[in-house]
């Protein structure tokens, strides 16, 4: 059976996430300790105690969500025996927006500390870009890509407004200046939408309003090292995050990471910088990414990290696909028991 790991993005955060893992597993505690050191943020306190308004900040929730997902991976690395590791080894990995960084880390294409620095810089840059231009995002239900594009052109009136996320059939998220988003909200029923709702986000992610953030991220990516997925025992930061008895890891030379921008495998790690920079100002093609993996024969997906957002989207994409959510001690224990 072909499998894939999926990693959530911004919006999956909630106060208390990762706390049970931290209390139950030494591997999770090491992840949080290293994450706090690399990011300079009190991630344990923010994840466990909030407040929710602080945790929801773009510059906080991005490293926080990555940390929780990495903690789940570390627990799996440490607790599964070799046959289970082999059985769990995914053919594909993908992450929604921020989650793409987690996918690259899980595939061993980039080290833990480098990812923390990148997502912390990314989150801060996106927060600054959002603050500079009053902007937002609008979820629209009932339109396909073509109709959503027509709505954007009609409501923009010279302002920024574009499709930002193609999440699942009939669900598109628009991104742009506040006035344009409000016009699109009012006009959406006329284009056939069954619902349109402003999202509680800091700004217009995945639009050209994020261009200043893309420039800053480009500089940060210059200092990061990317490599092809490796199928060997943990080394460096991965070794520090795995239990001592761990002798293997999930990533292998057959694992491919799917790009949000192209909905296709990276192909070459040399393209990582280009794709990650483009992702900030380009739409996330999540539905197309899932359809690609389904077409390659993937039957089982593991959502690794807080929440169940990606499982919900998959139900709209293909109800027959199996999605197992790994976001708690109970979920990890069920995995160990083969449930």
- Whether 144 has a pLDDT exceeding 60, the answer reads yes
- Whether 231 has a pLDDT exceeding 60, the answer reads no
- Whether 40 has a pLDDT exceeding 60, the answer reads yes
Q: How confident is the model at residue 196 (pLDDT cuts 50, 70, 90)?
A: very high
CB neighbours (10 Å) of residue 145?
A: 14
Q: pLDDT exceeding 70 applies to what percent of the chain?
A: 92
Q: Is 97 a catalytic residue?
A: yes
Separation of alpha carbons 337 and 108, rounded Å: 26
- Residue in 14, 206, 259, 289 annotated catalytic: 206
Give just the sign of the alpha carbon dihedral 75, 78, 81, 87.
positive
Q: How confident is the model at residue 30 (pLDDT cuts 50, 70, 90)?
A: very high
Q: From 3.30.70.250, 3.40.30.10, 3.40.50.300, 3.10.20.310, which CATH number describes the 134-202 domain?
A: 3.30.70.250
Question: Per the CATH hierarchy, to which homologous superfamily does domain 2-130+209-336 belong?
Answer: Malonyl-Coenzyme A Acyl Carrier Protein, domain 2 (3.40.366.10)
- Whether 117 has a pLDDT exceeding 60, the answer reads yes
- Whether 262 has a pLDDT exceeding 90, the answer reads yes
Label residues 266-286 b or e (16+ Cβ within 10 Å = b): beebeebbebbbebbbbbbbb
| Span 183-212, average pLDDT | 96
- Whether 236 has a pLDDT exceeding 70, the answer reads no
Q: Which of 35-44, 117-126, 234-243, 296-305 has the lowest mean pLDDT?
A: 234-243
Question: Given this model, what pLDDT does residue 223 score?
Answer: 85
What are the helix and strand counts (H, E) for the chain? 16, 9
- Residue in 39, 69, 97, 207 annotated catalytic: 97
49 strand-pairing partners: none
More confident of the two residues 233 and 267: 267
Q: What pTM was computed for the model?
A: 0.92
The strand order across the sheet containing 195-198 reads 161-168, 171-177, 135-141, 195-198
Q: pLDDT exceeding 90 applies to what percent of the chain?
A: 80
| Span 274-291, average pLDDT | 97
More confident of the two residues 253 and 93: 93
Closest CA to 102 of 241, 304, 335: 304
Q: How confident is the model at residue 240 (pLDDT cuts 50, 70, 90)?
A: very low
Retrieve residue 77's tokens. 């690395």
Q: How confident is the model at residue 199 (pLDDT cuts 50, 70, 90)?
A: very high
| Span 136-165, average pLDDT | 97
- Whether 326 has a pLDDT exceeding 60, the answer reads yes
Q: Is 206 a catalytic residue?
A: yes
Which sequence spans correspond to the domains of the chain?
2-130+209-336, 134-202
- Whether 146 has a pLDDT exceeding 80, the answer reads yes
Phi then psi dihedrals of residue 7, to 5 deg: -125, 130
Are residues 167 and 173 in contact, defined by beta-carbon separation less than 8 angstroms?
yes
- What residue has token string 């396909």? 144
Q: Is 174 helix (H, G, I), strand (E, B) or coil?
A: strand
More confident of the two residues 308 and 86: 308
DSSP 259: P
| Span 106-116, average pLDDT | 93
Question: Given this model, what pLDDT does residue 248 score?
Answer: 39
């Amino acid at each position: 059976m072909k499998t894939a790991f999926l990693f959530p993005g911004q919006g999956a955060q909630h106060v208390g996430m990762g706390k049970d893992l931290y209390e139950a597993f030494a591997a999770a505690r090491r992840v949080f300790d290293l994450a706090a050191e690399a990011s300079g943020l009190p991630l344990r306190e923010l994840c466990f105690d909030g407040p929710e308004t602080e945790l929801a900040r773009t510059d906080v929730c991005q490293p926080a969500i990555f940390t929780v997902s990495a903690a789940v991976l570390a627990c799996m690395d440490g607790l599964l025996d070799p046959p289970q590791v082999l059985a769990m080894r995914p053919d594909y990995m993908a992450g929604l927006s921020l989650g793409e960084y987690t996918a690259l880390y899980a595939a061993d294409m980039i080290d833990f500390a480098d990812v923390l620095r990148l997502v912390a810089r990314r989150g801060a840059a996106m927060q600054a870009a959002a603050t500079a231009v009053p902007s937002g995002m609008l979820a629209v239900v009932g339109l396909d890509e073509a109709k959503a594009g027509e709505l954007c052109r009609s409501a923009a009136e010279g302002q920024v407004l574009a499709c930002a996320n193609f999440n699942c059939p009939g669900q598109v998220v628009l991104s742009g200046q506040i006035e344009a988003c409000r016009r699109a909200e009012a006009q959406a029923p006329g284009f056939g939408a069954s619902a349109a709702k402003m999202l509680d986000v800091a700004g217009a992610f995945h639009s050209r309003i994020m261009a200043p953030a893309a420039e800053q991220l480009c500089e940060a990516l210059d200092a990061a090292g990317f490599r092809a997925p490796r199928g060997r025992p943990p080394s460096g930061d991965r070794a520090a995050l795995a239990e001592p008895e761990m002798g293997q890891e999930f990533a292998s030379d057959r694992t491919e990471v799917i790009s949000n921008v192209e909905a296709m495998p990276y192909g070459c790690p040399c393209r990582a910088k280009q794709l990650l920079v483009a992702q900030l100002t380009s739409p996330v093609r999540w539905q197309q990414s899932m359809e690609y993996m389904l077409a390659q024969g993937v039957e089982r997906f593991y959502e690794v990290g807080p929440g169940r957002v990606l499982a919900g989207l998959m139900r709209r994409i293909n109800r027959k696909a199996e999605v197992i959510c790994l976001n708690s001690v109970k979920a990890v224990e069920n995995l160990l028991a083969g449930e």
